[in-house]
Chains A and B, each alone.
Chain A
Amino acid sequence: DAKTTQPTSMDCAEGRAANLPCNHSTISGNEYVYWYRQIHSQGPQYIIHGLKNNETNEMASLIITEDRKSSTLILPHATLRDTAVYYCIVRVPPNNAGNMLTFGGGTRLMVKP
């Protein structure tokens, strides 16, 4: 699986959009970009994933650059409850060997009042 690079920490004002970047310059053509987050002391939570098109769901939007070497997770109206560590993960689809996720250090997002 391709490695990812994320900023260690970011701040965001409550109610504003939070834009979390991720670099994955060695991504392969069949690798997806996944985002998970981990709120303090809880298990990780799936947010969104994509291959090359931009994606949106009830939680967030995912913007993937045309060359797929980087992406941005957007939380459109951040709340205090969005304070968490956000993990960008790049991996191939599952096969019979399982769906392993490789977590790096992630970005610690602090949403401030």
Chain B
Amino acid sequence: NAGVTQTPKFRILKIGQSMTLQCTQDMNHNYMYWYRQDPGMGLKLIYYSVGAGITDKGEVPNGYNVSRSTTEDFPLRLELAAPSQTSVYFCASSYPSTGGSTDTQYFGPGTRLTVL
């Protein structure tokens, strides 16, 4: 199992450019998430998905879009990059057990994005 993989590891964008951050998991998890982490801060949820075809907004969705066409993939799209989107982006996945207490989230290694 590779777990949760993210590409690219690093990227520099110019203001107004667009890009897609890729996230793939091979654990057959239903739930997937995108978080961002600004320097020295905790993680904030951008979007999440409870299964293929179902996505919903998290705490900070503005400026981002997602899609979930398969169980494995959950790409994050930035349409018009802005300096405020400079951050480290983490993808995560989980498979909640029945009873709900053991829903461990597994995180990818992150994508470091700089918008200049």
Judge whether A103 and B44 touch: CB under 8 Å.
yes
A93 in contact with B48 (CB, 8 Å)? no
Say yes or no: A100 contacts B48, CB within 8 Å: yes
Instruction: Determine the distance from Cα of A100 to Cα of B43 in the docked complex, in whole angstroms.
Output: 11
CB–CB A46/B105 < 8 A: yes
* Main secondary structure on A side of the interface with B: loop
- Out of B31, B35, B41, B99, name the residue touching A98 (CB < 8 Å): B31
CA distance A106 to B43 in the complex (A): 10
- In the complex, what residue of chain B is closest to A96 when comparing beta carbons? B50
Bound together, the chains give a CA A42 to CA B92 distance in angstroms of 12
Q: Which of A49, A95, A99, A101 makes the CB contact (< 8 A) with B43?
A: A101
A103 to B90, CA, bound (A): 13
Residues of chain B with a CB closer than 8 A to A42's CB? 109-110
Q: Is the CB of B42 within 8 A of A43?
A: no
* Known A32-B101, A93-B100, A105-B41: A98·B90 in contact at CB below 8 Å: no
Assess the A97–B43 pair: CB atoms within 8 A: no
Is there an interface contact between B43 and A98, defined as CB atoms closer than 8 Å? no
Say whether A60 faces chain B, with CB atoms less than 8 Å apart.
no
Ordered by A's residue number, 30 sampled pairs between the chains whose C-beta atoms are within 8 Å are A43-B4, A43-B90, A43-B110, A44-B43, A44-B90, A44-B105, A45-B107, A46-B104, A49-B101, A49-B102, A87-B42, A93-B96, A93-B99, A93-B100, A93-B101, A94-B96, A94-B100, A95-B100, A98-B50, A99-B31, A99-B33, A99-B96, A100-B45, A101-B43, A101-B45, A102-B45, A103-B35, A103-B44, A105-B41, A106-B42
Give the A-binding residues of B (Cβ under 8 A).
4, 31, 33, 35, 41-45, 48-50, 56, 58-59, 90, 92, 94, 96, 99-110
Which residue numbers of A lie inside 8 Å of B, CB to CB? Answer: 32, 36, 41-46, 49, 51, 87, 93-106
